[in-house]
């Protein structure tokens, strides 16, 4: 198979990466995609760096060997933080694009010198040193409020029942001065799937996530490496997961529909 015809792999711990896949499908309509959710090992956010690194290496190797992926998009902030750098060293013949919390636009585009920025992410993402440096680098005056959201990705994996999502958000935001937040960063790819519920709490804030930026970056990398599929036919989407849960594909396709 010619290199250009090979699929782009998109990986996450579960369904969260669908929020990135949606942008990829729009940006790259002629590419074939293999979406992989590591449901047998989810959630990643409460694991340690070494475990998430090991799982991510294993998953990328499987997608390269079994599906002949020409590129991998790590559509998971937690896995990008824990594993992207190391994976780029290990898989040198394949571009690896990772998503990161959209801290830069959130701290620089609010129109304020010292914006209050709420960063919702998994415990593991927020524990990473890199995360603090990102904010310092782009706007040291920004007031960054990290909010670990344990449990939120699981509720979304189960279908995002509105009552359950709202009950959990109410608890998570109990100590947050929501009215005075200027920007909210959805630093986990699951959260954009419930952004309507989240945005209700933040009338005065702009909500950011890194999905579109990651899709644009993927297109740029494929183009630079002359790996873009140049046919005009709509690409094929394959959806798989590590626990062989049949419901996974049904839910994934539902989330694709809701978001598009």
Q: Does 76 bind ligand DGL (CB under 6 A)?
A: yes
List of residues 6+ apart from 202 with CB closer than 8 A:
118, 178, 181, 184
Q: Which stretch binds ligand DGL (CB under 6 A): 56-64, 102-110, 182-190, 220-228?
A: 182-190
- Catalytic annotation, pick one of 76, 87, 178, 259: 76
Among the listed residues 34, 42, 63, 251, the single contact to ligand DGL using CB under 6 A? 42
Instruction: Rank residues 16 and 146 by Cβ distance to ligand DGL and give the closer one.
Output: 16
Clarify whether 259 is annotated catalytic. Answer: no
Among the listed residues 7, 37, 43, 211, the single contact to ligand DGL using CB under 6 A? 43
The number of beta carbons lying within 10 Å of the beta carbon of residue 102 is 25
Q: Which residue matches tokens 């956010």?
A: 45
Q: Which stretch binds ligand DGL (CB under 6 A): 76-84, 110-118, 176-184, 227-235?
A: 76-84
- Rounded to whole angstroms, the maximal C-alpha distance in the chain is 55
Q: Closest separation between CB of residue 191 and ligand DGL, Å?
A: 8
Instruction: Rank residues 6 and 215 by Cβ distance to ligand DGL and give the closer one.
Output: 215
Clarify whether 76 is annotated catalytic. Answer: yes
Which residues in 148-167 contact ligand DGL (CB under 6 A)? 153
Instruction: Rank residues 6 and 144 by Cβ distance to ligand DGL and give the closer one.
Output: 144
Q: Which stretch binds ligand DGL (CB under 6 A): 12-20, 174-182, 193-201, 204-212?
A: 12-20
Among the listed residues 78, 139, 241, 242, the single contact to ligand DGL using CB under 6 A? 78
> Among 172, 170, 204, 167, which residue's Cα sits nearest to residue 188?
172
Helices (H), ranges, the chain: 18-27, 49-67, 77-90, 103-108, 123-127, 129-138, 152-157, 162-172, 195-199, 211-224, 246-259
Instruction: Rank residues 7 and 17 by Cβ distance to ligand DGL and give the closer one.
Output: 17
- Give dist(CA 260, CA 257) in Å, integer: 5
- Give dist(CA 147, CA 25) in Å, integer: 30
Which residues in 113-152 contact ligand DGL (CB under 6 A)? 122, 125
Q: Closest separation between CB of residue 242 and ligand DGL, Å?
A: 12
Q: Which residue matches tokens 């250009």?
A: 4
> Among 31, 5, 13, 6, which residue's Cα sits nearest to residue 215?
31
| Structural contact between residues 11 and 75, judged by C-beta atoms closer than 8 angstroms | yes
| Residues belonging to the active site | 76, 188
The binding site for ligand DGL (CB under 6 A) comprises 12-13, 16, 42-45, 76-78, 122, 125, 153, 188-190
């Amino acid at each position: 198979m010619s290199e250009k015809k090979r699929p782009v792999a998109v990986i996450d711990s579960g369904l969260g990466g669908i929020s990135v896949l949606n942008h990829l499908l729009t940006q790259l309509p002629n590419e074939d995609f293999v979406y992989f959710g590591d449901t047998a090992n989810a959630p990643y956010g409460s694991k340690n760096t070494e475990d998430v690194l090991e799982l991510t290496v294993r998953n990328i190797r499987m997608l390269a060997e079994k599906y002949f992926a020409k590129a991998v998009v790590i559509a998971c902030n937690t896995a990008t933080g824990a594993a992207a750098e190391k994976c780029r060293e290990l898989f040198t013949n394949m571009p690896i694009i990772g998503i990161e919390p959209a801290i830069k636009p959130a701290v620089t585009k609010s129109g304020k010198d010292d914006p209050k920025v709420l960063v919702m992410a998994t415990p593991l993402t927020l524990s990473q040193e890199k995360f603090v440096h990102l904010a310092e680098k782009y706007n040291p005056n920004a007031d960054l409020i990290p909010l670990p959201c344990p449990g939120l990705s699981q509720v979304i994996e189960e279908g995002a029942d509105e009552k359950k999502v709202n009950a959990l958000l109410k608890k998570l935001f109990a100590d947050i001065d929501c009215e005075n937040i200027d920007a909210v960063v959805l630093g986990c790819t699951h959260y954009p799937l419930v952004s309507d519920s989240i945005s209700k709490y933040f009338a005065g804030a702009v909500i950011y996530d890194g999905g579109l930026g990651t899709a644009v970056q993927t297109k740029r990398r494929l183009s630079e490496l002359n790996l873009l599929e140049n046919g005009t036919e709509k690409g094929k989407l394959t959806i798989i997961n590590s626990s062989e849960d049949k419901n996974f594909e049904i839910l994934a396709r539902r989330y694709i529909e809701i978001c598009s």
